[in-house]
Structure 1
C-alpha cells in the first residue's frame, strides 16, 4: 500500500468512526428513552424482563461505541498501532455482541406485541395510567385500533374528554401498534447500520496498521 493509500485510509477511518460515535449516541438515546422517558410503554410489557435486558445491553453498547468511536478517530489521526489494535479488538467484541442484540430485538418484538394487547384487559386494575399516558401523548387508541377497547373506550382516546365513544369527533382512530413497532425497528435499524460501519472501521484499521508496519510509521 502506497503512502497516499495510507492517508486515504486514515481519513476514511476518521469519518467512519465519527459515524460510529453518532450511532453510539443514537443507541444510547433510544435505550435511555425506553427505560426513562418511555415509562408508560415499559409498564405495559414489564412482565417480560428479557425484553428490557436486551435494551440494557443496547445502552451499554451505545456507551462503548461512543468511547470506541473517539478511540478510533484518535488512533487514525495519530497513526498509533497500539490504539488501532485495541480499537480493532473492541470493535470485534462489540460486533459479536450486537449481532446477538439485533437478533433478540426482532425475536422479542412479537412477544412485546402480545403483552401490550393483553394489558388492555387489565386497564381498570393495573394498566390504566400507562395506557392513558401513551394514548394521550401519541394520539392513538388501542394497540391495533380503537376496536381493541370494544364499547369501553377510555377518555384518553378522545383527548381526555369526558364522553368518549366511537362517534366522538376527537376520537383517535389510529392504533398505537405502528408507534410501538417503530421503536423496535428504529433500534434494530440503527444496530444494523452500526454493524456495517464497524466492519468498515475494522477493515480500515487493519489497512492502516499494515501501512504503518510497511512504512515504519510509529
Structure 2
C-alpha cells in the first residue's frame, strides 16, 4: 500500500473532513464500498445526515429518494460502528485467545518432535 493510500482517521472531525472532501469519491470502488457500508449499518454520515451537506447519497434515504422531501436515516455511522465493536468485543477477544493457545500448542508439539528426532539420530543427513 502506498503512503498516499493509507487512511489514518484519528478523530471524528478528521473522518468527516476526509469523507466530505472526497465529495462523490473519485473512484467507483470506494463509492460502492461506502454505499454498502451505509446500507449494512443502516446509517448516514459520521454523526448524522448533515455531515454530507447538500450532496447526500441515495444510500442515506430510508426509502427511495424520488420525492422532493426525502426521509433520511437519522443515526450516524460512528455510533453504529462503536456499538458493533462493543457487542462483538468479547467474542473477538475469546477468539484471539483461543488462536494464541492453538499456536503455542503447535510450537510445543513442533519443538517436542524436533527434540525427539534430533536425539534419535534420524535427523537430516547432508
- Using the size of structure 2 for normalisation, the TM-score is 0.48
Tell me which of the two structures has the higher relative contact order, counting C-alpha pairs closer than 8 angstroms and 6 or more residues apart. 1
Higher helix share: 1
- Using the size of structure 1 for normalisation, the TM-score is 0.33
Instruction: Please identify the structure whose Cα radius of gyration is greater.
Output: 2
